[in-house]
Amino acid sequence: MNYLLFINATVSLVMGVALILLWYRDRSQQFTLYLGWANLMQLLVPLFYSIARQPGTGLPTVATWMLPIAAATYTTLLITGAAHLAGHVLTRRGIWVIFAIFAGTNLLAAGIGGLQLTQTSVACINTFIGFLCAYWLRKSAAHSAERMVGPLLVLLGAIQFVYVLMGDEGVPLLATLGAILRMMLGMVLLYAALSRTQSRTRAMQDQFWRLTERSLQGIAVVHQRVIRYANPQFLSIYGLTQLDENTGKVVMQTVPESERKRVLELQKKVINGQEREVTYQVMRQRQDGTPMWLRVQYFRSDWGGEPALQVLVTDETQRHEADLALAAQSLRDELTGLPNRSAMLDTLRERCQGRPGELPFVLVLLDLDRFKLFNEAHGHSVADEILVSVGVRLREALPQDYAVMRLSEDEFAILSPLGCGGETAVEIAGNVRKQFAKALRARSGKFFLDASMGIALYPHSARDAESLLRAANAALHVAKRTPGTSHMLAKKEFERGSSNILEHEQALRKGIDTNEFRLMYQPKVDAHSGALLGFEALARWNRPHVGPVPPMEFIAAAERTGMISALGTLLLRAACERIAQWHQHYGNCVPVAVNVSPLQMLDPEFPQMVQRILQETGVQGPWLSLEITESSAVQNLEQTISQVQELRAMGIEVAMDDFGTGYSSLNMLRTLRLHTVKIDKGLIDPLPEPESVAVVRAICELADALHMKVVAEGIENEEHARAAAEAGCHVLQGYYFAKPLSADEASEWIARANGGERTVLAGLT
C-alpha cells in the first residue's frame, strides 16, 4: 500500500511542478499556477493519512486534525484554478471565505466521526466542485480539451467514496485511481495551456501580419544578404511588384557605389549586435530615375532562429518637397514675388563672411514716403497695386544681376552685385529718382509717390550684416527729413544705427529712476540796469560710462517714449526744491523759469501737478515761471488757454518761448494772456542789422500793447545786448552774461545781487 501511495504522490508532484513551470514561462495562464499548487498540496494528504494511522496519541492526533485543513487547502486551490480556466476570477477575499467554509466543514466532520466522516465531507465537496466546474466550462471553454476538466474533477471527487465504503482496505484502490485521474487531468491542463498559448500567438501573428502588410512604412527582413520578406509598401517604394530573387539586387542598385561599403558595414554591425539601431536619411533614385528621399532604419531581428536584419524604410519625398516649397515661400514676398527680409539677411550674412573689404557691394534701403496716408486715402487694394508696380518698376530700372527685395509693407531693398562701390550707389539713387519722377499705374489711375533711400557701402559703412543693415536704416531716417525723393549715404557712425537710440531710451528710463539729471541755471538780467531778474533752469544729463548727452537728444527720446511727463515732473520738483533752499538761506530769491514740453501741456492735469509740487516744496507761485512753446499752445489752444488761466491764478508767470520760430500767431498772443514773450535766438543773431532790429522792435511794441515783457535770449556779445535793449527788450539772457551755472555758482549770483552788484551792462547804461 505504501508503494501505491508513493506513486500517487509522485504523480501529484510531477503534475504540480509541470503546471507551475508552465505558468512561470507564460504568466497569462493563471489557472496553471493554482492547479499546480493544488497538485503539490495533494502530496500532504497521503502523508498526514499515514501519520494518523500510526498508533499513539501525539503526532497521529495532530495529523488527524491537519488532514482536513490540507484537504480544504487543496479544494480551495482547485476551485480557484478551475474558475480562472472558465474565466471567473475570484477575489482574494472570496478565496479566503471558500477556504474557511471548506476547512470548517472538514474539521467538524473530523471532530464528530474521525477520518471516515472527514473523507465523506471531502468526497462530497470535491464532487460538487467537479459538477460546478463542468457547468462553468461547458459554455466558456476555449478548446474542447478544456471541457474534459469538469468530468475529471467529478471523478476525482467521486473516488473519495471508495474510502467511505471500504475504509482502510480501499486505500490501494483509491491511490491507484487517484494517480491515473490526476495524470489525465494534468495532461489535459497542459494541453489546454499550450493550446491557449498557440491561439494567442497565432492571433498576434495575424495582427502583426495585417499591420505589416498595410503599413505605410516599407518593412523588409534581410537574412544572409537575401531579402526574405518585404511588405507591399517596401516593394512600392523601390518600384517593384513582387518579391523574388532579384529584389535585393534592385534595392542595392539604388545605392551609389561610393556608399555601398558603408551601408554593408552598418548592416553588419547591427546583425552582430555592435549597434542596437541605425538610422540615416538619404536621397535615392527609383528605377525610372526620379529622386526620392528616404529615412532608413536598421534593427536586429530573427529569421529561422538565426540573426537577421529588419529594415524600415519611410518615403519622405513629399514631405521633403513640401519643406523645400515652404522654405522657398518663406524667402519670397507673397504680394510682389520679390525676395523678402529673410532672403536679404541670408544674402548679407553670406557675403559678409569673407575678409572685410575683399568684395565691396552696395545696400540701398528704400521707403515710400507717407504711404500710410496713401493707404488710408485709396484703400488696401489700390495700395497693393502700387506696391506691385513699385517692385516691377525697380526691377526693370536695374540690371539683371541687381537684387530687388521687399522687406515690409512700404520698404524695399536693392542689393548690388559684388565688386560695386560708391559710383554704383550714386547710379542706383539716380535711377530710382528717375523712376519715381514718373507716375505709378494702378487700375484706378496714376499716382505720384516719393521715396527716401538710405545707402550703406560694404565694408566702408559696416563690416557685418546686422551693422550694415543698421547703418542703411539710420541713413534712411536721415534722408526722410528731406522732402521729395531723396537719399543719404551712411556714415561710419551710422554703423550702430538705431541701437544708439534704443540704448539711450533704455538708459533714460534708468536715469529717471535713479535721478541722474541735474539742473544748470542761466541768469536773466535787466536790459538797462544789468540787475539779476531770474534764472532759466536747463536740464543736463551726464550718462554714466558715456558722458554728457545733449538736451535735444534726451528730451526728444523722452517725448518719443512717453517718459517726458516723468522727466518734466522730476525737473520741476528739483527747481522748486532749489528755490526753497535759496529762500531759506538768503531770505530772498529771484524767479526760476522751467521749460515745459508740448506733450506735458496735453495733460489736462498739468496745473494740478504744478500746484501739488509747489505745496510740497513750500514755494510761492510768483517765484516760479513756466516757459511754453508756440507748438504746444497751437496743438490744443482751448486747453492751453484754460491751463494758463489756472497757472496765473496760482501767481505763476507763463512765458512764450522761442517766439518767432513757429506760427507766431498774434491772435494766440492776445488770447493766451501770457506774461512774457521770449524772442528766439535766431532773431537775435543778426543784430544789430537794421532789418533784424526792426523785427525785434516790432515784437517789443506788440508786447507792450499786450502788457507783456520781452526776453531776448541768445545774447552773445555787446552789440547784441545794446541793440536788443534799444529795440525795447526788457530782459536779456545769453553767454555774454554767463553760461549755464551750477547751483553753487547761481547762489553766488544771488548773494551778489542782494549786495547791490550789477552785471557788465552797468557800463553800457
CATH number at residue 542: 3.20.20.450
224 & 316 share domain: yes
449 & 568 share domain: no
184 & 221 share domain: no
Residue-level pLDDT at 739: 92
91 & 115 share domain: yes
Residue-level pLDDT at 732: 96
707 & 750 share domain: yes
pLDDT one-digit tens code per residue, 685-729: 999 999 899 999 999 998 998 889 999 999 999 999 999 999 999
Helices (H), 226-379: 232-237, 247-253, 257-271, 317-330, 341-351, 371-378
596 & 703 share domain: yes
pTM value is 0.46
Domain membership of residue 727 (yes or no) is: yes
Cβ neighbours of 316 (radius 10 Å): 15
Picking from 464, 496, 528, the residue at the C-terminal end of a domain is 496
Domain membership of residue 465 (yes or no) is: yes
User: 664 with 703: CB under 8 angstroms?
Assistant: no
Question: Structural domain of residue 472, as residue ranges?
Answer: 334-496
414 & 463 share domain: yes
Strands 624-629 and 592-595: parallel
Q: Which residues contact 195 (CB under 8 A, 6 or more apart)?
A: 142, 143, 145
Residue-level pLDDT at 762: 46
101 & 223 share domain: no
User: 738 with 718: CB under 8 angstroms?
Assistant: no
Helix H or strand E segment including 415: strand 411-415
User: 215 with 231: CB under 8 angstroms?
Assistant: yes
Residue-level pLDDT at 210: 75
Picking from 441, 462, 496, the residue at the C-terminal end of a domain is 496
Domain membership of residue 529 (yes or no) is: yes
Per the structure block, which three cell numbers stand in for 604? Answer: 489736462
Residue written as cell 534704443? 502
Domain membership of residue 206 (yes or no) is: no
CATH number of the domain bearing residue 242: 3.30.450.20
115 & 152 share domain: yes
CATH number of the domain bearing residue 120: 1.20.1070
226 & 191 share domain: no
Cα–Cα distance between 496 and 469 in angstroms, integer? Answer: 9
> How many domains, in total, are found in the chain?
4
Cα–Cα distance between 568 and 539 in angstroms, integer? Answer: 10
Cβ neighbours of 221 (radius 10 Å): 18
User: 8 with 179: CB under 8 angstroms?
Assistant: yes
Residue-level pLDDT at 271: 87
348 & 465 share domain: yes
- Which among 660, 652, 680, 656 is positioned nearest to 669, based on CA atoms? 656
Domain membership of residue 509 (yes or no) is: no
Task: Classify residue 275 as exposed, middle or buried by CB count within 10 Å of its CB (0-12, 13-18, 19+).
Answer: middle
User: 733 with 523: CB under 8 angstroms?
Assistant: yes
The DSSP secondary structure of 91-115, one letter per residue, reads PHHHHHHHHHHHHHHHHHHHHHHHH
Helix (H, G, I), strand (E, B) or coil at 517: strand
Half-sphere exposure in the Cβ direction for 103 (13 Å, CA) = 14
130 & 52 share domain: yes
User: 633 with 599: CB under 8 angstroms?
Assistant: no
Domain membership of residue 690 (yes or no) is: yes
Helix (H, G, I), strand (E, B) or coil at 182: helix
Residue-level pLDDT at 140: 66
Per the structure block, which three cell numbers stand in for 115? Answer: 477520518
Residue-level pLDDT at 380: 87
Picking from 435, 465, 496, the residue at the C-terminal end of a domain is 496
Domain membership of residue 503 (yes or no) is: no
Domain membership of residue 326 (yes or no) is: no
Helix (H, G, I), strand (E, B) or coil at 713: strand
Residue-level pLDDT at 694: 93
DSSP code, position 495: G
Residue-level pLDDT at 394: 92
Beta strands in 461-611 (DSSP E): 486-489, 517-526, 532-543, 547-549, 592-595
Low-confidence ranges of the chain (pLDDT < 50): 1, 495-497, 664, 762-765
